[in-house]
Structure formats: C-alpha cells, structure tokens
Amino acid sequence: MSRAADRSAQGETLSRAVWSVLAEQGLERLTVRAVAAAAGCTTGLVMHRFPNRRALLLHARQMLHRVTRVRVEALEAEAGSPRAALRAVLRQGMALDEQTRQESIVWMGFLAAAVTDEELIAEHRRNNRAWRERIERLTAAAAPEWTAERVATVTLGLITMTEGMAAYAAADPAAFPAADQERMLDSTLAAYGLA
C-alpha cells in the first residue's frame, strides 16, 4: 500500500475512533489518549497525523458528513419514486436502531463541542444548509405543484422533526421505539399531503 493511502486510512481509523469515544464516553472524556486507545495506537501517532486535537475533531466531523451523504445518496438512487426517496432519506435521520442511535449521540457531541470552536460550528452550518437544500429538492420533486415558499416551510418542518426525533430517541430509546418513530414520520408526511 502506498504512503498516501496509508495516511488516509489512518485518518479514517482515527476518525472512527473519535466517533466511538464520543458515542460511548461522551464529549468530556474525548481526550487524545482515549482516541488513541480506541484506535489501538499511541498518542504519538495521533499527533503525527494531526497538528492538534481540534484538527482531529474537525476531520472526524467532516468524515461523518461524507459517510452520511454517501448513504443518503444511495437511498435516494434506490427509491422508486420521489415520495419514496423523501421518506427513505428522512427515515435514516432518526434513531431507529443501535447504529443510528450512536450516530445521533455523536452528532450531538460534535454540536456541543462546536459552541467554542469556530471551525466546527462553520462545518455544522455548512452541513445543515446542504441537508436542508437536499430535503427541499426532494420535497419539491414529491410535490411539484407547490410554491417555493410552501416547499421551504414544509421542509423546515420535516428536517426539524427528524432531528428532534433522533435526539429524543438517542437519549431514551426505551420511551421512543422505532415503530413509534416511523408512525410519526408517516403521519406527518400524510398530514402535509406527501404520503
């Protein structure tokens, strides 16, 4: 394997270690040593790959965005209709299983970390705006007769609902089972006339 591929693969391993620590131990225990331990290496390697801790977190944050974008684009391509695409893409944004539940916790951890970090908050805003534009595009395709304003308003309702649902279910999975989440999504799409 080439040197460049090695470096890239290590960056990926370390970013996944960041997610793992963030999901299992939370932001307060997200230290360079904890990440190194989760990645099975030492702090020396971490600090050779990244100039400092903030750069490590930023890389992990950006990689999280890329991974979810790939998954969402696959769902969108597989869907049989615009409305099916909209539903499938919104669905994966909730916390339906252990995998997506952990992603929600990681997501909230990055958001909490972004309060003090200018680069992290900028990344968060970029991603959120791209996400909103994606859902606006899917909503417009699912309801071609709607005005742009109607599309924007309904999109805002849909993205905030799935985001909030993920936060609730991540913090209390027993109280918000997957079936309830899906029923809620379907009834909301129906209420908006997107069923």
Q: Are 146 and 152 in contact (CB under 8 A)?
A: no
Residue 183 contact partner, candidates DNA, a copy of itself, none, CB within 5 to 8 A by sort of partner: a copy of itself
Q: Among 23-31, 59-67, 119-127, 163-171, which window interacts with DNA (CB under 7 A)?
A: 23-31
64 sits near a copy of itself (criterion: CB under 8 A): no
Return the residues of window 36-95 that contact DNA according to CB under 7 A: 41-45, 47-49, 51-54
Half-sphere exposure for 141 (CA within 13 Å, toward CB): 16
Contacts to DNA from residues 176-195, by CB under 7 A: none
Q: Choose between 41 and 152: whose C-beta lies nearer to DNA.
A: 41
The Cα–Cα gap between 157 and 57 comes to 30
Site size for a copy of itself (CB under 8 A):
46
Between 95 and 138, CB nearer to a copy of itself: 95
Spatial separation of the C-alpha atoms in residues 154 and 187, rounded to whole Å: 14
Taking Cα atoms as reference points, which of 76, 112, 108, 109 lies closest to residue 91? Answer: 76
- Decide: 110 and 64 in contact? Cβ < 8 Å: yes
Tell me if 110 sits within 8 A of 128, measured CB to CB: no
Handedness of CA 38, 12, 167, 123 (dihedral sign): positive
Q: Interface residues with DNA (CB under 7 A)? A: 3, 6-7, 10, 29-34, 41-45, 47-49, 51-54
Q: Interface residues with a copy of itself (CB under 8 A)? A: 25-29, 105, 108-109, 111-116, 121, 124-125, 128-129, 152-154, 156-157, 159-165, 167-168, 171-172, 175-176, 180-181, 183-184, 187-188, 191-193
